[in-house]
A and B are shown apart, each in its own frame.
Chain A
Amino acid sequence: MWVQAEVFLQTLVSGLLLGGLYALIGIGMTLILGVMKIINLTHGQLMMVAMYLAFWLFTLFGIDPYLSLLIVPPLMFAFGMGIQKFLVNPVLRVESILPHNQVILTVGIGMVLQNLATLFFTSDYRSIPVGYASTVWYLTDLWRDSPVELSFSLPWVVSFMLAVVITLMLWFFLAKTDTGKSIRATAQDRDAAMLMGVHVGWMRVITFGLGSALVAAAGCLFIPIYYLFPALGSQFTLIAFVITILGGLGSTIGAILGGLLLGVFESMTATYVGMGWAPAGRFVVFVAALVFLPGGVASLLKRRKLGK
Chain B
Amino acid sequence: MRKHPGVLIFVLALCLGWAGMALAQNEIQLSIPLPLTGQQAKFGEIEQKAYMIAVEEINAKGGIKKKKLVLNFEDSQGKPEIARSIAEKLIDVNKQPIVFGEYSSSCSKAVAAVAEERKIPYVVVTGAADDITQQKYKYVYRICPSNAYYAVGLMSFLNEVVKPKSVAILYESSDFGTSGADDMEKQAAKAGMKVLLKEKYEKGAVDFKPVLSQVKAANPDVIYMVSYVMDAALLMRQIKELRIDSKLFAGGAAGFDIPEFVGNAKEAAEYVVTATLWSPQVSYPGAKDFAEKYKAKHGSYPSYHGAEAYAMTYLLKDVLERSASMKPADINKALKATKLMTAFGPIQFQDKDGFQNQNFMETLVRQVIKGEHQTIWPKKIASAGYLYPIPRWRDRK
Contact = CB atoms under 8 A, between A and B. Distances in A.
Interface string B199-217: 1111011111111011011
A107 B246 CA distance: 45
Contact of A227 (B199, B213, B233): B233
B243 A276 contact: no
Contact of B268 (A11, A14, A17, A134): A134
Contact of A6 (B202, B217, B241): B217
B264 interface: yes
B211 A279 contact: no
Given A4-B217, A127-B230, A226 B206 contact: yes
Contact of B267 (A134, A235, A276): A134
Contacts of B263: 127, 129
Contact of B234 (A15, A136, A227, A235): A227
B208 A151 contact: no
Interface stretch (A52-60, A171-179, A264-272): A264-272
Contacts of B241: 134, 136, 151, 153
Contact of A10 (B202, B213, B230, B237): B213
A187 to B, nearest CB: 30
B200 A271 contact: no
B205 A275 contact: yes
A119 to B, nearest CB: 15
Contacts of A14: 207, 209-210, 213
Given A134-B237, A136-B240, A275 B266 contact: no
B208 A275 contact: yes
B242 interface: yes
A4 B213 CA distance: 10
Interface in B225-284: 229-230, 233-234, 237-238, 240-243, 260, 263-268
A18 interface: yes
B210 A268 contact: yes
A270 B210 contact: yes
A92 interface: no
Interface in A206-238: 222, 225-227, 229, 232, 235
Interface string B177-205: 00000000000000000000001111011
B243 A138 contact: yes
Contacts, number: 94
B178 to A, nearest CB: 10
B264 A267 contact: no
Contact of A276 (B173, B210, B264): B173
B248 to A, nearest CB: 19
Nearest to A280: B202
A3 B380 CA distance: 43
A250 B205 CA distance: 27
Main secondary structure of the interface of B (DSSP, over half): helix
A293 interface: no
Nearest to A9: B213
Interface string A124-138: 010101000110101
B25 to A, nearest CB: 44
A134, A136, A232, A275: residue with the most chain B Cβ atoms closer than 10 Å: A275
Contacts of A235: 204
Nearest to B212: A10
A227 B200 contact: no
A278 interface: yes
A291 to B, nearest CB: 24
Main secondary structure of the interface of A (DSSP, over half): helix
Contact of A18 (B207, B211, B267): B207
Contacts of B213: 6-7, 10-11, 14, 271
Contact of B230 (A18, A125, A149, A278): A125
A121 to B, nearest CB: 15
Contacts of B214: 7, 271
B199 A276 contact: yes
A48 B267 CA distance: 27
Nearest to B213: A10
Nearest to A234: B204
Contacts of A275: 199-202, 205, 208, 210-211
Interface string A80-92: 0000000000000
A225 B206 contact: yes
A129 B264 contact: yes
A188 B234 CA distance: 43
Nearest to B240: A134
Contact of A274 (B200, B207, B208, B229): B200
B206 A127 contact: no
Interface in A76-104: none
Contact of B200 (A153, A232, A276): A276
Nearest to A122: B42
B179 to A, nearest CB: 16
Interface string B112-131: 00000000000000000000
B230 A227 contact: yes
A127 B264 contact: yes
A17 B229 CA distance: 24
Given A136-B241, A151-B241, A125 B260 contact: yes
A125 B199 CA distance: 24
B279 to A, nearest CB: 21
A129 B200 CA distance: 27
14 contacts: A6-B213, A18-B206, A125-B260, A133-B266, A136-B241, A222-B206, A226-B234, A227-B230, A270-B201, A270-B211, A274-B200, A276-B199, A276-B201, A276-B202
Top-5 shortest CB links A-B: A270-B210, A271-B210, A14-B209, A275-B201, A276-B200
Interface of B: 173, 199-202, 204-211, 213-214, 216-217, 229-230, 233-234, 237-238, 240-243, 260, 263-268
Given A11-B209, A267-B209, 19 more contacts: A6-B213, A7-B213, A15-B210, A17-B207, A18-B206, A125-B260, A127-B263, A134-B237, A222-B206, A227-B233, A266-B207, A267-B210, A270-B207, A271-B211, A271-B213, A275-B199, A275-B211, A276-B201, A278-B202
